[in-house]
């Protein structure tokens, strides 16, 4: 046995069989940031980005990203998400858009990848909408900050 859940004894990629796992409420929260020039932050806050309302579009993109995770990450299970929340907050002091995504369901496998994908897609959307004025933006610190449910219990990032 390889020790990796997504590899069989012969080293072939497999989707983990979760059929014997009990259904539990599962919640995962991820965060990340897009760091930018002060002028870019000013445009977002003033609603003057030519492509439109950056925060609203990125919020919708993040929700859509969570729903499409199994299409993007090859061995993820298609999940029946019951809630996806994506929040984007401007921090003018850091010249950053901070993104938080929380995904929830009752099921046999966790929603960490959906929360991480939601943050990633929202961050990419912020970049895409603002790249004409700031190509030096940095997508930063995308990470899982909390998860609950399932056999492994609760995780809180330090």
Q: pLDDT digits over 79-115, tens only?
A: 999 999 999 999 999 999 999 999 999 999 999 999 9
What percentage of the chain reaches a pLDDT higher than 90?
Answer: 84
Annotated catalytic residues are 128
Give residues with Cβ within 8 angstroms of 4, minimum separation 6: none
pLDDT value of position 133 = 96
Q: What pLDDT was estimated at residue 38?
A: 98
Alpha helices (H) along 10-111? 38-46, 54-67, 69-72
Q: What is the band of 152 on the pLDDT scale with cuts at 50, 70, 90?
A: confident
**Sign of the torsion angle spanned by Cα atoms 115, 117, 119, 121:** negative
Compute CA distances 62 → 2, 16, 88, 101, 125, whole Å: 34, 25, 10, 8, 8
Share of residues in the chain with pLDDT > 70 (%) = 98
10 Å CB burial of residue 31 (0-12, 13-18, 19+) is buried
The per-residue pLDDT for 118 is 98
What confidence tens digit (pLDDT) does each residue in 1-28 have?
Answer: 446 777 888 888 888 889 889 999 999 9
Q: What is the pLDDT of residue 1?
A: 41
> 108-128 in b/e burial notation, b at 16+ Cβ within 10 A?
bbbbbbbbbbbbbbbbbbbbe
* Burial per residue of 2-18, b for 16 or more beta-carbon CB atoms within 10 angstroms, e otherwise: eeeeeeeeeeeeeeeee
List the structure tokens of 150.
């399932």
Q: Confirm if 81 and 62 have CB atoms less than 8 A apart.
A: no
Structure-token pair, residue 114:
């959906």
Mean predicted confidence (pLDDT) in 65-75: 96
Given this model, what pLDDT does residue 3 score?
67
pLDDT in tens, 52-65: 999 999 999 999 99
pTM above 0.85, yes or no: yes
């Amino acid at each position: 046995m390889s020790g990796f859940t997504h590899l069989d004894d012969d080293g072939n990629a497999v989707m983990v069989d979760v059929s014997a796992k009990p259904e539990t409420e599962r919640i995962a929260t991820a965060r990340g940031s897009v760091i930018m020039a002060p002028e870019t932050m000013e445009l977002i806050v003033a609603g003057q980005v030519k492509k439109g309302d950056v925060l609203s579009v990125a919020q919708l993109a993040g929700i859509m990203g969570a729903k499409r995770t199994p299409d993007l990450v090859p061995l993820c299970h298609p999940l029946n998400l019951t809630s996806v929340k994506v929040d984007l907050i401007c921090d003018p002091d850091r010249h950053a858009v901070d993104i938080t995504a929380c995904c929830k369901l009752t099921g046999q496998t966790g929603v960490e990848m959906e929360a991480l994908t939601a943050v990633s897609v929202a961050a990419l959307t912020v970049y895409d909408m603002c790249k004409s004025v700031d190509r030096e933006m940095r997508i930063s610190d995308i990470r899982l900050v909390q998860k609950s449910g399932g056999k492994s219990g609760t995780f809180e990032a330090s």
